[in-house]
Structure 1
Amino acid sequence: MNKFCEECGSPITPSLNFCQQCGHQLEQSKQSNQATVPTTERQPRKYSKKQKIIMSAALTLAVILGGFYIWGNSYTSPENTVERFVKALQDEDHAAIRKLTGLANGSSLSETEAKAFILLAKEKSDSVHFNTLNLEEFSSENELFYITKDGKWMGIFDQYSFVLKPQYVELFLPFADVENTLNGKEFPIYENEDNRIVYGPIAPGIYQLKSSFSGEYTKVDSEEKVIVADTSSDWISHDVELSADYVTLELYNVNGVPIENAFIEINGQKVMFNEDLRIEELGPLELDGSVSITPTIETKWGNVESDSFSLEGNFHEIEVNTVSEALMGELSDVILLYGEEYVHANASYDEKVFTSITDEMREDFQSNFQYYRENNEHFSGQLDSIEINFDELQFTDGSHASVPAKFYFTSDMHRADEQADVDERIDHCDVEIFFDANTKEWLVNSSYSVGGWYSNEFHATKTIEGSKEFYEASIKASSSESEVASIQVSNEELDSLIEQVTLDYVYQLVEAINSNDYEKVSQYIKKGSALNDMQKDLVERLSDEGMTQEVINASVTSIEEVDGKWIVTTDETIKLIYESGKETTNDYTWKYTVEKEGESVALVDIGD
């Protein structure tokens, strides 16, 4: 039976004769030599007031400590930690989440990360599961985090917390110098190379990614929601899209006018095209259509400002019309002068009238005028107007250009003994113009007739009024007043005459086809002959088909007399131009039958 000190009430050790608490000397038990020891009655122990207070406090403390220990073990247990974690997610208590979680690298969650993680749990139930509080089930269903022992709480109880698997966001940027924030905050950069940047480690969550760029030409930004939740911590890849990019511009010189310089202006700055008429990697610029640019072309004939266009892609081929007002004015002047000189020179058959043509073209007119005089053909007429399509102006090199034009005449081709029966005449021509760098003048080098089919596709961009000055044919006496195509010559010149008439026939047949005017060639063909009917049908048929032709070359290779007739062999190269625009060039060898008709010759048949 335990014994207590009579002075302080503390338990005493039986082997000691004093109290360890107060030092009170204890009485020794008297041993009796008698066989029988009388039984003494135990008296109730009396405690002092102080002893009672101490005993009560000790008992209370023991109860409190015992209860606290039991509560502490329960509070810090894994099961209760799960409950507190789930409640913090449900209550969106980011402060509690920060206390209960951390990353595997030992870093704590920022407030931004805690909010992003709570949003992930709220919106992506497949990423964070808290439909059970059973520790084993909770751990197996959630792979983005795990529970682990995390030291001692108050130095006594085992403490537990959640470790979130670190996440990495890999961003592919459209260009350099793009700044990125997640939920308005900058995060550590794990890798950074070229236009790729990796942020991490960060906590799993749903983040608002804001990307922005501020450069020389534009400011753009974008916002996107990024879900960062990979259970293996693999990188989450994302393409950043901004409504801006670098732009490449390339000029297509529609008209071929020699360009000295070309540029655009943007934000008050002039940006030049290179020698290949390209601007490489301009920008970045906004590509939402809000940015418009206007190319300006510099030529020796002045500047041309092209139409403005909006940027909506990173490559633009720009078709530019390089014909300046000054250039159109110069070309209009020389074409008008040519038209006026044309009627004057044709009426007088005097090529010296021309001041607007090249020497080569002057020689062609000289030959034509000689032919017309010899064949008793005379021109009377006036220039009414000229239409020009400068949209189709085309430079073939730095000094040669061609432009479609329509010449409107009131005129007639007639014999010397006939009055001019004038009517409207329209010549559809492709006018070739040459720029003489020495004299700084434009000269007409050719005016090739393209036939009636061209009128359907012709669109006049400029109309010039002619003087309407009428020129009557200047009739001069000639060595012959005979029928058309009859040229009086001596017998020794007969072969030369046959060759000339045959070649003239070849060229005038093409003119007849191009103008749908058989009369232009009928003068070389004997009336009533097989060739007359054949070629009349040919002119009508090819004209209906919309075909035109051009003589590339024609020559007489032999003349042989047979039974009072002549078989004339020719080699001809003819370009055929179909209504579709397709062209073919063919070589022909023909044998024409030519008969003498009085002092004249005429073609009567054709064979191969």
Structure 2
Amino acid sequence: MYCKNCGTKNDSDKKFCKSCGTPLTTHVVKETPLTSEQAVVQKHQPNNATQQKSKPKKPMATSTKLLLILGIVLLFVLIGTYKWAENYYSFEAQRDRLMDVIKTLDAKAYSEVIESNHPAFEVTEASVQPFVEYLSTRPEAYNDMLRFLMRDKDSFNYYDQLYIRQQGKHLGLFDKYILVITPVEFYVMTNVEKIDVTYEGSEDKLTMQDASTAHVGPVAPGIHHVVVETTLAGEEVLLEHSEAILFADESGYIPEMYVDFETFEFYIYSDVDTATVLVNESPIGDLVDGEGFFGPVLWQEDLVMTFSTVLDTGEEVEKEVQLDPNRYEYNIQVYPSVSSYDIEQTIGQVYRAASVLADEESDEQLDTLASYLVDGRDNDLFNTYKNTGKRYRDNDDISSVYYRVYLQEYDVIDLTTVRVTYELSVNEYGSAGDYFELMFTGDMKILDDGMYAIESVSLVD
């Protein structure tokens, strides 16, 4: 019999087709001989049984369908995720997120997204505080920074304060962009020497380049606070200073922060060789060979300079002068200023009174004489001149006498004493008159009113 499925001829006692395995019916289909015309037609027509001889498809299993659906969904998810990540990790999106951090003006937030391009500068909440303070207190700088970060990704410079740089990959596919800060260094310079400098509240002293210069850095760009300590005129002085240091210099130049104390210096010359100079009771230096430069002194109201010296006589002398920051030179005269003319005139007045006494004696003339002598009438010279006048009056051969004084030299001995040497010419008139010259030396006192009085006189042999 023939198989209904594939048309293969099988034995009549078979239950399944030997070619395709299809169950066979018990009804036997007999083969009917074909006519010649049918045989020709059949020869030229395709055999249906042969065309249908391929094995039919089995129905798709449920698990296979689920896997196929899952694969398609996963493909769409992967495509969608890639597109989302491509947008999320785009330069513009990353830049916007970094700018959102900048807008917080929070040092802790900054420290979590900013990196340093200097190996010696560690980004921490404390180390970026100067930069945060700068942006927080300078609205223009803050707005300029936001506009600056909106630039194209290829237009940033290594020496910019803060810039965006590509570094690494996100998910191994997308460029990763980070914020990079450029640290700065600077010198703290002052107009005084022997200073100690501390930075941002630290108790540690900065490294000194020289007596008046300290080095700071690397530190974040921004507003920096330093404290400079020194000793001026024996007084410890502390000066706080804040200044914005913003850019590192591509050429290697290190900027300078000037912390100037309001100080002044002055010059003293004197008529004594040595002295100690004090300002507000604090020693600041010594006079040497009659002169000296002093300072710097921190300017403040009511500064008093004290000039202290010991004279050869052992007498201690102090002079006080109100300091003026606009005045540079001070002439400190310890010894009184004397006038050779006044000295000579005083001695001359004594001898004029003595000359009058040679003619007549009166209380008026005696008082005049006494006024030019230390201790007045109690001075031994008073009786000397009085007696000399009487001797001339008693000598009938001498009618009058004329004295002439020539000051030879004088020297200030102490604050009130002037030692003088003078020549006295004596011209006696009368039959027994004579002319002669004498040399005297003596001490004169300077009175409170600036006038002079003779203390003692002795004849020079």
Partner-residue secondary structure (3-state), 1:168:
strand
- Quote how far apart the aligned CAs of 1:112 are: 4.3
5+ residue gaps, structure 2, are 1-17, 22-48, 373-394, 396-405, 436-461
1:175 maps onto 2:192 in alignment: yes
Equivalent residues in 2 for 1:56-205 (5 A)?
A: 69-106=82-119, 107-121=121-135, 122-124=139-141, 128=145, 130=147, 133=150, 135-136=152-153, 139=156, 143-153=160-170, 157-181=174-198, 183-184=200-201, 192-205=209-222
Return the match for 1:239 from 254, 258, 268. 258
Partner-residue secondary structure (3-state), 1:124:
helix
Partner-residue secondary structure (3-state), 2:93:
helix
Contact 1:188 1:201 in 2 (8 A): no
Partner-residue secondary structure (3-state), 2:269:
strand
- Quote how far apart the aligned CAs of 1:276 are: 1.9
Comparing 59-68 with 165-174, which one deviates more in the overlay? Answer: 59-68
Contact 2:407 2:420 in 1 (8 A): no
2:351 partner amino acid: Y
Partner-residue secondary structure (3-state), 2:261:
coil
Contact 1:248 1:316 in 2 (8 A): yes
Query: Residues 153, 261 of structure 1: CA spacing in aligned structure 2 closer, same or farther, 3 A cutoff?
Result: same
- Quote how far apart the aligned CAs of 1:294 are: 1.1
- Quote how far apart the aligned CAs of 1:133 are: 3.2
Partner-residue secondary structure (3-state), 2:320:
coil
Return the match for 1:321 from 323, 333, 337. 333
Contact 2:194 2:211 in 1 (8 A): no
Return the match for 1:347 from 351, 356, 376. 356
Aligned length: 346
2:228 partner amino acid: S
Query: Residues 337, 134 of structure 1: CA spacing in aligned structure 2 closer, same or farther, 3 A cutoff?
Result: closer
When the two chains are superposed, the root-mean-square deviation of aligned CA atoms in Å is: 5.4
Contact 2:182 2:220 in 1 (8 A): yes
1:149 partner amino acid: Q
Contact 2:281 2:306 in 1 (8 A): no
State the partner residue of 2:316.
303
State the partner residue of 2:305.
293
- Quote how far apart the aligned CAs of 1:240 are: 1.9
Contact 2:285 2:294 in 1 (8 A): no
Partner-residue secondary structure (3-state), 1:305:
strand
Partner-residue secondary structure (3-state), 1:276:
coil
Task: Tell me, in whole angstroms, the C-alpha distance in 1 between the residues paired with 2:352 and 2:280.
Answer: 54
1:176 partner amino acid: E
2:179 partner amino acid: F
Query: Residues 183, 144 of structure 1: CA spacing in aligned structure 2 closer, same or farther, 3 A cutoff?
Result: same
Task: Tell me, in whole angstroms, the C-alpha distance in 1 between the residues paired with 2:210 and 2:86.
Answer: 51
State the partner residue of 1:37.
53
Equivalent residues in 2 for 1:378-457 (5 A)?
A: 382=365, 384=368, 433-434=410-411, 443-446=419-422
1:228 maps onto 2:228 in alignment: no
2:113 partner amino acid: L
Query: Residues 304, 77 of structure 1: CA spacing in aligned structure 2 closer, same or farther, 3 A cutoff?
Result: same
State the partner residue of 1:521.
none
Contact 1:220 1:243 in 2 (8 A): no
Equivalent residues in 2 for 1:505-584 (5 A)?
A: none
Query: Residues 252, 72 of structure 1: CA spacing in aligned structure 2 closer, same or farther, 3 A cutoff?
Result: farther
State the partner residue of 1:539.
none
Deviations 1:400-441 (A, max 9, x none): xxxxxxxxxxxxxxxx9xxxxxxxxxxxx999645799xxx8
1:206 maps onto 2:182 in alignment: no
- Quote how far apart the aligned CAs of 1:296 are: 1.9
State the partner residue of 1:251.
269
Contact 1:166 1:204 in 2 (8 A): yes
Task: Tell me, in whole angstroms, the C-alpha distance in 1 between the residues paired with 2:108 and 2:165.
Answer: 20
- Quote how far apart the aligned CAs of 1:59 are: 7.9
Equivalent residues in 2 for 1:363-378 (5 A)?
A: none
Query: Residues 132, 219 of structure 1: CA spacing in aligned structure 2 closer, same or farther, 3 A cutoff?
Result: closer
Partner-residue secondary structure (3-state), 1:295:
strand
Query: Residues 87, 60 of structure 1: CA spacing in aligned structure 2 closer, same or farther, 3 A cutoff?
Result: same
Deviations 1:556-591 (A, max 9, x none): xxxxxxxxxxxxxxxxxxxxxxxxxxxxxxxxxxxx
2:421 partner amino acid: N
Task: Tell me, in whole angstroms, the C-alpha distance in 2 between the residues paired with 1:152 and 1:278.
Answer: 75
- Quote how far apart the aligned CAs of 1:262 are: 1.4
1:243 partner amino acid: E
TM-score, structure 1 normalization: 0.44
Contact 2:131 2:222 in 1 (8 A): yes
Contact 1:102 1:163 in 2 (8 A): yes
Task: Tell me, in whole angstroms, the C-alpha distance in 2 between the residues paired with 1:139 and 1:278.
Answer: 61
- Quote how far apart the aligned CAs of 1:241 are: 0.7
Task: Tell me, in whole angstroms, the C-alpha distance in 2 between the residues paired with 1:47 and 1:210.
Answer: 78
TM-score, structure 2 normalization: 0.56
Deviations 1:170-222 (A, max 9, x none): 33222334344554458997982453334233333233444333574231303
Task: Tell me, in whole angstroms, the C-alpha distance in 2 between the residues paired with 1:387 and 1:86.
Answer: 96
Query: Residues 141, 220 of structure 1: CA spacing in aligned structure 2 closer, same or farther, 3 A cutoff?
Result: closer
2:431 partner amino acid: S
Partner-residue secondary structure (3-state), 1:307:
strand
Task: Tell me, in whole angstroms, the C-alpha distance in 1 between the residues paired with 2:419 and 2:199.
Answer: 70
Contact 1:169 1:228 in 2 (8 A): no
Identity of aligned residues (%): 15
Partner-residue secondary structure (3-state), 1:85:
helix
5+ residue gaps, structure 1, are 1-29, 254-258, 350-376, 389-415, 417-428, 449-474, 481-486, 488-499, 501-608
- Quote how far apart the aligned CAs of 1:295 are: 0.8
Query: Residues 32, 195 of structure 1: CA spacing in aligned structure 2 closer, same or farther, 3 A cutoff?
Result: same
Contact 2:276 2:285 in 1 (8 A): yes
Deviations 1:523-564 (A, max 9, x none): xxxxxxxxxxxxxxxxxxxxxxxxxxxxxxxxxxxxxxxxxx
1:298 partner amino acid: V
Partner-residue secondary structure (3-state), 1:207:
strand
State the partner residue of 1:591.
none
Which structure is larger by alpha-carbon Rg, 1 or 2?
A: 2
State the partner residue of 1:496.
none
Partner-residue secondary structure (3-state), 1:345:
helix
Partner-residue secondary structure (3-state), 2:354:
helix
State the partner residue of 1:478.
431
Task: Tell me, in whole angstroms, the C-alpha distance in 1 between the residues paired with 2:369 and 2:70.
Answer: 129
